[in-house]
């Protein structure tokens, strides 16, 4: 069962400049940064609030590390802006299978490693009214990488 909006992913050309905008404009601070070589992105997670299920909601700022990454291609076509929405779930495997059973294409056969040690998968935007949708199971707090 989906429990929250985990994060909204925003593609950007300059991560440092975009982080500074969100810090200066809204007061959001960086909670976590990392480079995900598999996905070809450098990212910053800005924590918005904690949630009742023990998780949190974030803005995820994504800068491509290479032009051929999914985010790099998306930026070249669309420019900066909202890239995807991610819903939190206690069990990404079960929820991905339940959605797949309803005819929605799940982009990964098995969930992959996401930000802060999470497990993730994506749903095809053509099956989700044009919205790239991510399902996320957060790592247990002791295992989260800051």
- Closest Cα partner for 61 from 29, 21, 19? 19
Q: Which of 39, 43, 63, 83 is catalytic?
A: 43
Cα angle 93, 97, 99 (rounded to 5 degrees) comes to 120
Whether 7 is catalytic is: yes
Whether 144 is catalytic is: no
Averaged pLDDT, 11-26 = 98
Q: Which of 34, 110, 134, 145 is catalytic?
A: 134
Q: How confident is the model at residue 50, as a pLDDT?
A: 85
- Residue 145, pLDDT > 60, answer no
Q: Which of 32, 39, 60, 80 is catalytic?
A: 60
DSSP state of 67: T
The DSSP bridge partners found for residue 62 are 11, 43
pLDDT tens-digit map of 25-34: 999 999 999 9
Averaged pLDDT, 82-88 = 97
Torsion angle, alpha carbons of 70, 37, 47, 135, to 10: 60
Whether 83 is catalytic is: no
Whether 97 is catalytic is: no
- The residue ranking higher by pLDDT, 54 or 95, is 95
- Residue 84, pLDDT > 80, answer yes
pLDDT tens-digit map of 19-61: 999 999 999 999 999 999 999 999 999 999 988 777 789 999 9
Q: Work out the end-to-end distance of the chain between its first and last CA atoms, rounded to an integer number of angstroms.
A: 26
- Residue 117, pLDDT > 60, answer yes
Whether 60 is catalytic is: yes
């Amino acid at each position: 069962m989906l429990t929250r909006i985990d994060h909204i992913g925003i593609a950007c050309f300059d991560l440092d400049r975009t982080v500074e905008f969100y810090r200066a404009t809204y007061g959001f601070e960086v909670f976590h940064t990392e480079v995900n070589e598999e996905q070809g992105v450098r990212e910053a997670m800005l924590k918005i609030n904690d949630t009742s299920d023990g998780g949190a909601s974030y803005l995820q700022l994504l800068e491509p590390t290479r032009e051929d990454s999914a985010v790099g291609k998306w930026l070249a076509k669309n420019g900066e802006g909202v890239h995807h929405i991610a819903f939190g779930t206690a069990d990404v495997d079960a929820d991905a299978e339940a959605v797949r059973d309803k005819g929605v294409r799940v982009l990964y056969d098995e969930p992959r490693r996401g930000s802060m040690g999470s497990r993730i998968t994506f749903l095809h935007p053509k099956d989700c009214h044009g919205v790239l949708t991510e399902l996320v199971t957060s790592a247990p707090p002791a295992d989260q990488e800051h």
